[in-house]
Chain A
């Protein structure tokens, strides 16, 4: 039972991390109707910025905040210089251009930081396990990811649903021309939204960095999961991204945790231990396929259009 609690926390933590990545993607995809394959590169840049700034300042929190600001600025600059010229094009052009950006970022990182990758060490107070309920110890850092991601989710909800900026974002999503005609600077709005998406990706990258390593191409595998999540959750829906991300994180982690033992009951030991990881990584895509058949618009589509 305690194992289940701990594994569920693992799943929740992974899911929330995926949410941060997916939220930025769904904002940009759903509101600006723009396919950004380079979202994973912004995740990578967030991690590289954090590793650099933490080494400079010697403080994890300060370095992380600086990295967040740097990714925000990078995202806005990217939108201003390159991406805004692609809004009118069809999705295939956007895919090609942003795929080019992935290659650009990977090689830029190789030039600046070298091919070997970086380490982002944690401060001592985050490396100790915490007792959450009697008998269950959980890594403090993973716990802090859960807390931070939940806070960001709440903040995002308040900004989008309760503020003037959020109203403009939602209005821009439902009718771009009309909001422009009403005198709102839609270009600036989109630059801001893209920067926000970039900062969310950067936050995901810098929070994941101490668990993984900071390395070239780190955003590419995880980006696929983020796309799966926005498809399951409904494109453009932050609520959908939130719930779908937790689903996916749970299914992935609990699948890995319990599927091998279940399979061992029906298959031989060797066959089960080979099949289980393959099968558990398939579960997510299976879920996506089912959602696409039953509800092609996603589980929680944004109410609009």
Chain B
């Protein structure tokens, strides 16, 4: 379990507060290329960031980019920034390039992301002890399927994001077996199918995500995820291992091509100071994914109604 520690250290490093000060605009004639990834939350954050840059006087180009494959491109300057990067599933390639100084970490986005074991609300009737995690041990059989018998079934993250579910059930000694989901779509399809027929389901999932609200998913209360739990075996319910607890909140941050600071100093500052909270992002995600509206339109409305939330950052950078 290297990742949560690394994540936590990075989070502490990210806390260093940068004081806003006016900067040069730089090459305003060349468009700043913002990466648009596959999920709605990221697309919303990107549109907000893009609008702020435009207000500062920049041209912005939105470039669709595969989250897994775009990092080399960003280190080459083919993409300039990605404004919502999740430490929990960022590919190894990001870390290699970042450590080599070919990508810059622009600090935390402030999105207080939560990861954990989720279940549909109706499972609290089948397994009355929930949300307490110890109830899972007693009700394991009601989560079982033919592939996992006699153990319960836990849907884990896709293989390439790591195996946080398998690690935790092992550390906590839960009688479950982790089945890796192949993709986010596979996880959501399972939620859809299970809630349509009130079937049992336990999965590793995250918030903010539209599915949490749409399918009324709840987090199981695992032992609190702390720094000690991941470094000291004595902490947590299992005295023999580390990592026998909940996830440490995932750091969600912004990353950029290192040349940005020189080329567009004010843009660099705006993106560094950009923050967005779950409370701000989640309703916008709902408007897109549940109500079926278009992202640019939803974001434009929000920007008009919440000018106080973003205008000061733009003003501080350019004036």
Chain B associates with chain A: no
Residues in chain B within 8 A of chain A (CB atoms): none
List the interface of chain A (C-beta within 8 A of B).
Answer: none
